[in-house]
Chains A and B, each alone.
Chain A
Amino acid sequence: MTDVNLTLVLTSAGLIGCGVYLLLERSLSRVLVGLLMMGNGVSLAFLVAGGPGGAAPITVEGVDEPMSDPLPQAMVLTAIVIMLATTSFVLAMAYRSWQLTGHDDVQDDVEDAMIRRMAATDATSEAFSAASDDPDEVEESSDFAEGELVDGRGDEPGGGQDLGADVAAEHEREETRP
Chain B
Amino acid sequence: MQQKQRLTRSTAYFIPYTLWIVLFVIAPVLLLIYQSFFNIDGQFTFANYQTYFASSTYLMMTVNSVWYAFLITLATLLISYPTAYLLNETKHPQLWLLLIIMPTWINLLLKAYAFIGIFSQAGIANQFLSFIGIGPKQLLFTNFSFIFVAAYIQIPFMVLPIYNSISELKPSYVNASRDLGATNWQTFSRVIFPLTLPGVKAGIQAVFIPSLSLFMLTRLIGGNKVITLGTAIEEHFLTTMNWGMGSTIGVVLIIAMVIIMWLTSGRQPRKGLTK
Instruction: Please indicate whether A and B come from the same complex rather than being unrelated chains.
Output: no
A binding-site residues for B, Cβ under 8 Å: none
